[in-house]
Amino acid sequence: MKGEMDDTHEQIWWKFWRGSKFDKKKYADDKKKILDFYHKNGYRDAEILADSISYTEKKDHMVIRLFVSEGPQYKIRNVMWEGNTVFKTDVLNERLGVKTGRYL
């Protein structure tokens, strides 16, 4: 999930010239992006239970831990349209992105 974070990055050893600064606002935005990722993949009840920020013993690196509860994964099983007199069922399904097996 760390790939979902746009502004909070892991420092890579071979990019030693690139310094990173921690920004609380960007970190909060990135946590929302992680939840968006879970929601897009059918985990509608996902939530971040806790997060922690600490430093290594040498105090040269920051460690960020997120504790996420995914909850159940929801998928569309069957969709039945009732009373659709203006549009056909296949048109409604296509326009609204409804497809069996797709994540909610």
List, for residues 14-26, the tens digit of each pLDDT value: 555 556 678 889 9
Which of these, 26, 32, 20, lies nearest to 7 by C-alpha position?
A: 26
Q: Provide the residue count of the chain.
A: 104
Give the percent of the chain with pLDDT over 90: 38
Domain layout of the chain by residue ranges: 2-73, 75-104
When pLDDT is cut at 50, 70 and 90, the band that residue 46 belongs to is very high
Give the percent of the chain with pLDDT over 70: 81
How far apart are the C-alpha atoms of 54 and 93, rounded to whole Å?
Answer: 48
Q: pLDDT tens-digit profile of 68-87?
A: 999 999 988 888 888 988 99
Q: Which of helix, strand or coil describes residue 22?
A: coil
Fold classified for 2-73: Ubiquitin-like (UB roll) (3.10.20)
Which pLDDT belongs to residue 66?
93
Question: How is residue 31 written in tokens?
Answer: 């946590």
Dihedrals phi, psi of 47, to nearest 5 degrees? -150, 150
When pLDDT is cut at 50, 70 and 90, the band that residue 13 belongs to is low
Write the burial class of residue 77 (CB in 10 Å: 0-12 exposed, 13-18 middle, 19+ buried): exposed
